[in-house]
Amino acid sequence: MSPAEKDRKPAESESEYAHKLPSQAEDFSGWYTTLVRSAQLADYAPVKGCMVIRPYGYALWENMQRLLDARIKATGHQNAYFPLLIPESFLKQEAEHVEGFAPQVAWVTQGGEDALEERLAIRPTSEAIICHFYARWIKSYRDLPVLINQWANVMRWEKVTRLFLRTTEFLWQEGHTAHRTAEEAMEETLRMLEVYRAFLEEDLGVPVHKGQKSESEKFAGAERTYSVEALMRDGKGLQAGTSHYLGQHFAKVFDITYQDEQGQRQHVEQTSWGVSTRLVGALIMTHGDDAGLRLPPRVAPIQVIVVPIYRKPEERAAVTAFIERVTAALTAAGVRWKVDADDTQSPGFKFNEWERRGVPVRFEVGPRDVQGEQVFAARRDRREKQPLPLGELGPRTLALLEDVQRGLFEQAVAYRDAATGDAETLDEMAAALDTRRGFVRARWCGEAACEALVKERTAATLRCLPLADGPDPGPCAVCGRPAPRRALFAKAY
């Protein structure tokens, strides 16, 4: 083995970060925060609970945004932009809504030199301001449906925060639609839930359960809330997106009406739905391992990192020239690539660095590869390497990336399924949630009191009533009274 070839083995000690990253088993929370900061995805801001999203993290978010935006537009929605500031009186109109959000609002009380007459909320969500406009825009059944989405920053004054997962300011999209009938609005609610499932599973490789939230977990002001629920690698659940059927709650207080075909005034039926930068956290905690991030190819800012390997100047020239042919082939195939040509770092250091930053595929190019007209391709989802001939590089790379995408999803499904089990009693639930964590499927009678008892005893919450599950009657795991079906419980972020 030549000295250059030796560098193809991971050289853990060379990475300046590797020793700082705790293993998931010893400190999952430390692993997460260290990784987010050292991979330069994001960092804390001077204002408590706010974050800066650094270029690598933002490129990831941009890729996610582009793919989800296309799905949102493909289902007939248009984007718009509503004001950041909402007068307090607007927020107060829907009683449940203000009760849910007022404790988390950041208030603007001064504009320039003047104290304001009315406090203005930085939007924690935009129902109140959007309904104000819908009341003006919607006149007739011909104006319906209104299908609008917004990409925006929102702010919720959180007490306990964590990068991406729960920050005071975050980025999101929020859809707000208005319809003629309850049926249409319910159809929309479930359509967008399915858009989220497809986006999460197909683009992010994050398997989710679609389901309905219980009364106690639903959105403040909604008639019904649905969510997609994922499982992180520490066994904790994470709500990855929500879709709300709002009914006529907001339409009635904001007076959003239309004239129907018979000339009668009717209140509209509404929905709202959103996902946020929290999904970046979901992605990290679904796929990451002890070596760092593992990014799904469809959203990875860099899909292929090319590492040149050489010792002598003439080798360097040959390798560099060959890499130009490699990257030309990657560009032609539409692959996002980068060459790490930094002369001050060894290949081994670079391998660790880009593994930590989650790049799905690494190309190693040394003198032997130049001779053989090939690259040596290492995949990040599992420790496998294979030579790829230059002549077939475009299609073979695309196939490899698809394979990594699939591989990450399958590993996540396998983990999730292994960490899911049934429990018949509260004791069994507590035991399961204590030892192996994960999802517990238990029968629930529908009473809030039973749900509260589970939380008190196990710290787990009712994540959702999965839509895919049929009826499964039997005794409620808590009170023993008849329950129609099982609910999904987990400790959650």
Binding of residue 59 to a second copy (CB under 8 A): yes
Helix (H) or strand (E) holding 315: helix 313-332
How many Cβ atoms from other residues are within 10 Å of residue 316's Cβ? Answer: 16
Binding of residue 81 to a second copy (CB under 8 A): yes
Question: Given candidates 11, 67, 84, 333, which one binds a second copy under the rule CB under 8 A?
Answer: 84
CB of 472 to a second copy, least distance (A): 41
Place of tokens 């390497």: 385
Question: Given candidates 110, 181, 264, 371, which one binds a second copy under the rule CB under 8 A?
Answer: 110
Binding of residue 245 to a second copy (CB under 8 A): no
CB of 349 to a second copy, least distance (A): 14
Question: Given candidates 14, 43, 255, 403, which one binds a second copy under the rule CB under 8 A?
Answer: 43
271-330 positions binding a second copy, by CB under 8 A:
none
C-alpha span between 273 and 226 (Å, rounded): 9
Binding of residue 82 to a second copy (CB under 8 A): yes
Binding of residue 112 to a second copy (CB under 8 A): yes
Q: Coil, strand or helix: which one is 421?
A: strand
Question: Given candidates 20, 23, 52, 181, which one binds a second copy under the rule CB under 8 A?
Answer: 52
Binding of residue 345 to a second copy (CB under 8 A): no
Binding of residue 39 to a second copy (CB under 8 A): no
Binding of residue 37 to a second copy (CB under 8 A): no
Residues 147-186, mask of contacts with a second copy (x by CB under 8 A):
-x---xx-x-x----------xx-x---------------
Nearest to 461 by CA among 424, 493, 436: 493
Helix (H) or strand (E) holding 209: strand 209-212
387 CB contacts (<8 Å, ≥6 apart)?
369, 372, 374, 375, 376, 377
Nearest to 340 by CA among 364, 356, 317: 364
Is the CB of residue 467 less than 8 Å from the CB of residue 232? no
Binding of residue 100 to a second copy (CB under 8 A): no
Total residues contacting a second copy by CB under 8 A comes to 51
CB of 492 to a second copy, least distance (A): 22
Angle at the Cα of 137 from the Cα atoms of 75 and 129, rounded to 5 degrees: 85
Binding of residue 141 to a second copy (CB under 8 A): no
| Residue nearer to a second copy on the CB measure, 279 or 476 | 279
Is the CB of residue 47 less than 8 Å from the CB of residue 30? no
Task: Provide the angle, in degrees to the nearest 10, between the axes of the packed helices 278-287 and 393-418.
Answer: 90
Binding of residue 132 to a second copy (CB under 8 A): yes
Nearest to 436 by CA among 460, 420, 459: 420
C-alpha span between 467 and 462 (Å, rounded): 14
Which window, 116-124, 181-189, 302-310, 350-358, contacts a second copy (CB under 8 A)? 116-124
Q: Which residues bind a second copy (CB under 8 A)?
A: 43, 45-47, 50-55, 57-59, 61-62, 78-87, 90, 103-113, 119-120, 122, 129, 132-133, 148, 152-153, 155, 157, 168-169, 171
